[in-house]
Copies of this chain bind each other. A is one copy, B any other.
Amino acid sequence: MRFGCELRGDPDTRIESVATLGNASSGSIAFLANPRYRAQLAHTRASAVVLSHVAAEDCRTAMLVSQNPYATYARIAAILHPPAPSRPGIDPSAVVAADAHIDPSAQIGAFVAVGPGVSIGARSIVGPHCVVGAKVVIADDVRLVARVTLGERVRIGARSVLHPGAVIGADGFGFAPDNGRWVKVPQLGSVAIGADVEVGANTTVDCGAIDDTVIEEGVKLDNQIQIGHNVRIGAHSAIAGCTGISGSTRIGSRCMIGGMVGIAGHLNIADDVVITACSAVSHSITRPGVYSSTLTIEEARLWRRLVAYFKRGASVGARLRALERAVGVKSAQDENHD
Contacts and interface: CB of A to CB of B under 8 A. Distances in A.
B294 A282 contact: yes
Contacts of A312: 334, 337
A255 to B, nearest CB: 12
Given A164-B131, A188-B77, A312-B334, A319 B319 contact: no
Contact of A167 (B164, B283, B331): B164
Interface residues of A, number: 136
Interface in A211-269: 211, 218, 220, 222-224, 226, 228, 236, 238, 240-242, 244, 246, 254, 259-260, 262, 264, 266
A236 B177 CA distance: 10
Contacts of A309: 313-314, 316-317, 338
A183 interface: yes
A289 B300 CA distance: 8
Name which of A68, A236, A303 has the most chain B CB atoms within 10 A of its CB: A303
Number of copies: 3
A161 B172 CA distance: 12
Contacts of A310: 295, 306, 310, 313
A173 B146 contact: no
Interface string A278-306: 11111101000111111111111101111
Given A77-B185, A171-B198, A316-B320, 4 more contacts: A73-B176, A127-B131, A161-B171, A280-B297
19 contacts: A18-B186, A33-B176, A68-B177, A70-B177, A93-B95, A146-B149, A147-B149, A170-B223, A171-B200, A282-B294, A289-B299, A291-B298, A292-B298, A315-B331, A315-B334, A320-B323, A322-B329, A326-B327, A326-B329
